[in-house]
Structure 1
């Protein structure tokens, strides 16, 4: 089977099971038919965050809808740890990059946080969700992260579950061994990683975050990182030392 037949991967809301047809709406029909130039009989991959990944055969492509028949399941549903990314939105392009990279790095929930120096006071959660869907389709994960509405830092801290470890990415913290810091994280599936805005947290915010129970302070190295760089760095460290990169190697 030609490799191009597997290059289309789509997230759908519908349930997935063998021979139960899935109807794609206009935007996805346009994508597979016009953009990717697929035709009836070609194969695509489907996932919905619940039923694993399925190989599907295109039955028909119309202007306003298409019909896909799931043929066989290629991967069972398998989700990673419950990792929330608490991040202060920055400029539009950089925020889109944060959403894309966090999705690729296995975040289960994106929580935009309003800090004293956060630049954005309004966000389009629907647009953020579409960006997360596109990233999930491309990176072959089996789920799409949830998107929360923009919430003030105090409220996010107050609503944190007691069993959710908090990793505070501190841009002004004296250098510390990140391995030692992350080794102190409880072997739990629930964690929140907090990254600040351009300009960083205020001293008052740093003190408030650091005083929360279950907080691990992670120094971000000898250089001041851009917000999007800090997100990628923190998530990479966590996944390599505590997360699914390590678990995948042991399985």
Structure 2
């Protein structure tokens, strides 16, 4: 049997979940279930809130503008997210939507926007960023909810860096060598964070400050310079394959 049911609609809610409870839906959630999916009363829906696990529920109190769900049995226990953070310079809307969704799909538990000297986007819509992250959870079977932090200057982020936390730095100036070898030799007992710069990259002062973090892994992503959103997916794939929650090849376990 598949671990995750992808045939049933899945919604993230804020209410506590327990068998027998009623959950009132937002107008957007009601519109999605009733008007877009055209579900009728009694239809099965899966719910999660990032705390209580995943529950089956049935659609009740049905109208075109208001509906609720009656919570049934728990279908999956709560999962702990991978201890992987994604630090990034904000991008323009379409590319930011994409990278928020893909980062969560790849197991980033926390999205941390950073402001660098070459950051081109001056304003960031946190609600939109959060909505895209939650949508990725709903569509991909993730039942933990990612944290979305407010933007902060890179200098503050580095000054407050926690001891023992691994920082993976995707640097287009790094010597080209196997990223798998670089990561498989790293230690991530205190968690791992990925940092990717803006279009145009970090300046020399920022690069030096990042490289001064104890235990930083400077990563090359190959002979081609990747766009920031592409680099995020590539780097998170490498991190999950070596340090994260993907099964490790035999050579990695030795």
TM-score category (smaller protein): over 0.9
**Structure 1 residue 102 corresponds to structure 2 residue 103:** yes
The corresponding residue for 1:161 is: 162
- TM-aligned CA deviation for residue 5 of structure 1: 9.5
User: Are 1:144 and 2:142 counterparts?
Assistant: no
In the TM superposition, residue 63 of structure 1 has moved relative to its aligned partner by 4.0
The separation in 1 between residues aligned to 2:76 and 2:179, in whole angstroms, is: 34
- 1:222 corresponds in structure 2 to 223
Gaps of 5+ in 2: none
Offset from partner CA, 1:63-111 (integer Å, 9 cap, x none): 4431111111111111232211000112211111110100111111101
User: If the length of structure 2 is used for normalisation, what is the TM-score?
Assistant: 0.92
Q: What residue ranges of structure 1 are gaps of 5+ in the alignment?
A: none
Aligned to 1:16: 17
- Equivalent residue, structure 2, for 1:233: 234
2:129 equivalent in structure 1: 128
Please give the alpha-carbon distance, in whole angstroms, between the structure 2 residues aligned to 1:111 and 1:5. 29
Equivalent residues of 1:78, 1:142 under 8 A apart: yes
- TM score, norm. by length of structure 1: 0.93
Q: RMSD in angstroms over aligned alpha carbons?
A: 1.9
Correspondence 1:1-251 to 2 at 5 A:
6-188=7-189, 190-246=191-247
Q: CA deviation digits over 1:32-62, x for unaligned, max 9?
A: 0001101111101101001111111112223
Aligned residue for 1:194, secondary structure, equals: strand
1:103-151: CA deviation from partner (whole Å, max 9, x where unpaired): 1111111011111111111101111111111111001101221111111
Detail structure 1 runs of 4+ shifted over 4 Å in the superposition.
Answer: none
Aligned equivalents of 2:90 and 2:161: distance in 1? 19
Deviates more, 1:158-167 or 1:226-235: 158-167
- Indicate how the Cα distance of structure 1 residues 150 and 187 shifts in structure 2: closer, same or farther if over 3 A, else same: closer
- How far residue 189 of structure 1 moved from its aligned partner, in angstroms, is 5.3
Cα distance change, pair 5–238 in 1 and its aligned pair in 2 (3 A): closer
How many residue pairs are counted as aligned between the two chains? 246
Q: 2:156 and 2:228 mapped to 1: Cα distance?
A: 21
